[in-house]
Chain A
C-alpha cells in the first residue's frame, strides 16, 4: 500500500515537473533585474550635429549608467537632485539614511497597496534605490516593483547605505519627514 502511495506521488510529481518544464521553455524568465523591463524606457535621444545620437544634456550621465551604480555615481546623481529611496526597514531608516531619502519597502506594494512615497515621485525622473548593501535583495525587489509601476529609470546603489555613509556623503537620522513638509 505504501508502494502505491509513493508511485502515485511520483506520478503527480512527474506531471507537475513536466508541465513546469514545458511552461518554462515557453516563457523564459530573467534571473535578475539587470535590464530594464520592456516599455517606454529611454530618456530622450537627440541628434547631435556630428550625427551621433546622444542622450539629452543633463540626463546623459545618468542615462549611461547601468541598473547598478557605485556610491560615487550615486553621489553625482544626488548632487543633481535625483531622489533616493531607502528600501530597508523603518528602524534601519531611523538609525541613518541618505539625507532626504524616501522610505519605501517592497512589502508596501503587497495586496495591491501603494507606498505613500510613490505619489511624491516622478515616474519619468531617475531614482536611486538602496538597502543595506552586501547580500541584501530589498532594493532589487523594490526596483522590480517600481519598474512595474512605471519607473523606468530606477538605479540600485549596490553597496548600500553603509558604503554611502562611509564615503562621507550626506546622511540624516530619524523617521521620514516628507509627509509633513513635502521636502524634495
Chain B
C-alpha cells in the first residue's frame, strides 16, 4: 500500500481548487465581456453543465481508483470534487435563471414542471444540494447511518444528469452516449453494492413467505 503524505494531499487539493475555480471564473469573465463566441449564454450553459457532469464522474472515479492503486488517502479528495460538482451545477442553474430566462419567474416554475429534461436536471441538483449541505464531518457524525443512505443518492443524481443531457440535445447524441457508457462503467464497478441490498430483500421476502 502506497501512503500519501499530508503534503501530497494538500497539493492534490490545491490542484482541484485551481482546476475547478480558474476555468469557471475565467469563463464567466469572458461571457460577461462578450468574448465567448456568438452566444455567450449558450456557451456558459454548456460549459457549466458539462463541467458539473465531468466533476461528478470524477468524484465517482475516486474510490475505485483508490482501491485499484491501493492509495486509501485518495478518498480524502472526494468530498472536495463532489462539492465542486455542485458548484458547477448551481452555476448552470443560476445561469439558466439569470441569463437564459432572465428572471422570468413564472416561466421558471412552468419550465421545471412541464419540461421533463429540466425536471430531471432540477431533481439532480436538489440531490447534490442535500449532499453538499451534509458534507461537513460534524454533520456526517450526527447523521450516523442516515448519512450513507443519503449520499447513496449520488448514483441516482448521476443517472438523472445523464438523462437531462441526452434529452436536451437536438439530434447529436454521440457525446451524451459516451457519457452514459462512462457512467454505466463506473456503476458496474460497484455492482456488489447494488446487488447486496437486493439479495437481502430477497431473503427477507423468502422468510416472510
Chains A and B come from one and the same complex: no
What residues of chain A have their CB less than 8 Å away from a CB belonging to chain B? none
What residues of chain B have their CB less than 8 Å away from a CB belonging to chain A? none
